[in-house]
Amino acid sequence: MNKVELQSIVGGALQEKFERAFEKVVENMQDANTSFKIKRAINIKLSFTQNEQRDEVSCDIDVAEKLAPQASMRTQFAIGKDLRTGELFAEEYGKQIKGQMSINDFQEPKQIEEIDGKAVDVETGEIVTDNVVDFRKVAR
């Protein structure tokens, strides 16, 4: 019987499909949104059908990869109906309690002006600097 080399079947298409499937498997294994515990697989299936005279065979070839699914995510929505307009709404609120406001909801950006070569917060008069003083290095 003649030797059959997988990389030459279908003019090299089987090899190409395997390489693409292998790349998908490795990519899936590197995806932090998938479980590391789930096994991945590549299945190469060759199905043979012969004619009645048994002198010709048709071969169907399938290459399929089994990947780990993306990890599920969870969030929360407050839903309701605006009584003034009748419009339905859904608002994601994540880690906060429904309806709770964040301090960031009330903070306005600082208005900074340059006075005598120094950046000054106009509202508080505070000199704004990005310098951090390491008091451990200050001489005593």
Per residue in 109-129, pLDDT (tens digit) is: 678 888 888 888 887 888 777
* Residue 22 burial class via C-beta count within 10 angstroms: exposed 0-12, middle 13-18, buried 19 and up: middle
Alpha-carbon 23 to chain mean position = 17
Same domain, 22 and 49: yes
What is the rounded radius of gyration, in angstroms, for the C-alpha atoms of the chain? 33
Domain carrying residue 88: 77-99+110-134
The model scores a pTM over 0.75: no
Please tell me the total count of domains within the chain: 2
- Tell me how far apart the terminal alpha carbons of the chain are, to the nearest angstrom: 91
Q: Is 26 contained in some domain?
A: yes
Alpha-carbon distances, residue 66 vs 24, 37, 73, 105 (angstroms): 9, 14, 21, 46
Q: Find, among 41, 31, 121, 103, the residue nearest to 71 by Cα.
A: 31
pLDDT tens-digit map of 56-89: 999 999 999 999 999 888 888 889 998 999 999 8
Distance, in Å, from the CA atom of 40 to the CA atom of 29, rounded to the nearest integer, reads 8
